[in-house]
Each structure stands twice: as structure tokens, then as C-alpha cells.
Structure 1
Amino acid sequence: MNKKVFNIIGWILLIGMAINWLVFHYSSWYLLSIPLASICFSISDGSIKKIKRIRKMSVSQVVLILLSFVVSIAIVVGLIQLASYVITDRLHLTGWILTFSQFIAVILSLYPVKLTFGTVVYKVTHDLDAKTL
């Protein structure tokens, strides 16, 4: 298939998920649609071919990535719970200000994950590249 098709499919999945989130709120389908959109974008930009590096990884590197993933998810959940507590219980926000502040809180809580998990994955892939040279 054409790379542009996968890019369009990824955007359709993300836009559809955003519309569903605004209309129906959270759904467990998001757990499936986000990785599918990510895979579509990876195929469209050609980075899916880099998955062959997984075969070259040692067990300790895989465990390190999985552990950093779990820690990253714990950080996000903790930050979202903290933001929810502050927004609803301390600030007592309502209406569109509540929705907007929750949206901003979710976006801001993803940045520590990007830093923690992204740094570990970058280090492991850099080590793999250094071994192949």
C-alpha cells in the first residue's frame, strides 16, 4: 500500500477517537485505536522497518524497556489522578473550564512519560547501533 494511505488511516483513527471522546467520553476502544494509529504512522514514515532491531536486543535491554514502560504508565496515572484531585476537589471547577483543564492536564502529564520512556528507548537503540558498527 501507499505510505500516504497509512498516514490518512492514522489521521482518521485519531480524529475519530477525538470525536468519540468528545461525544461519548472515555471508551476502552481507545486502548486499541491509539496503537493502531501509531502503527499506521510508523508505516507511513518508514520507521516500522527499525523493528528488526528487537531481534538484536538482549534480555536485559527488553526488561529495561518494559520496566521503564511500566514506570512511565505509573507516572501518567499518578499525575492524572493528582490533576483530577486538584481540579475537581480543590479548585471545584465546572463546565467547559473543567473540561478544558482536564484536557490540558492529560496533555501535560504525557510529557514526563515522553522524557522517561523516550530516553530509555533512545539509549537502548543507541547501544544497539554502537554494537553493529
Structure 2
Amino acid sequence: MCISIVADTAQCFSTHHFATLIGYGASAVCPYLAFETCRQWCLSKKTLNLMRNGKMQMFTIEKAKNNFKKAINAGLMKILSKMGISLLSRYIFSLLSCFTCYGLGNEVVAIAFTGSVSNIGGLTLDEV
């Protein structure tokens, strides 16, 4: 049985966040707060004044969102290329050795982050 995980999150705004979610099994990520931030930036008075005065090129909300997506995709491709991976689908749930948990005990890691390591230990399940 195959399933897909879609992470609908407000906490994902950098390439590291995307790479971690994908590495742990997400097939798609919807960073709705990042998209809302793009929208708010386009509609802010300061941005609108800069565009009207010609000090900044005209941006639509869609163009701002597309620029964000392009930047995230470029960052992900850079991360993957450094690891020798050419397809994003090969990175999904890859659990590469770069995934190390800090501050979590082995009990928590075994349940929530299967395949990762926690060399220094940390919080137990009861403490979490």
C-alpha cells in the first residue's frame, strides 16, 4: 500500500524546513503562512508606494508566490545535488545519515523519527 503525505504547515519557510519534511516522508508541502506573507508584503503600503514611485518593479501576489516557489525549488536542488541525488522523489523518506536528532532520547526517536540517530540522548517520552 502506498500513501502520500502532504504537510500543510505554517512553520515551513526555508529550504531546510522543506528538505527535512521531504526527507521524513512528505510528498508535498503547503507552506500556507509563507504564501500569506507574500500576499501581505504585496499589499503593504510601503511596498505599494515603492512600486508606484518606480523604486521597485511591479509585483503581483502571484508573482511574489512564484518567486518564493522558485527560490525554494532552487534551494532544494542545491541540497540534493550536494548529496548526489538527482530526483526529488529519491529524497522522499530517504533518512540519509545527515538526520540526527539532538535533545531527544532514543525512545522518542524510535517512535517519532524512525531511522534517525540520537547520539547524545535527551528527553524521554514521559518528559515530552
**Normalised by the size of structure 2, how large is the TM-score?**
0.29
Answer 1 or 2: which has greater helix percent.
1
**Normalised by the size of structure 1, how large is the TM-score?**
0.29
Give the structure, 1 or 2, with the largest relative contact order (CA under 8 Å, sep 6 or more).
1
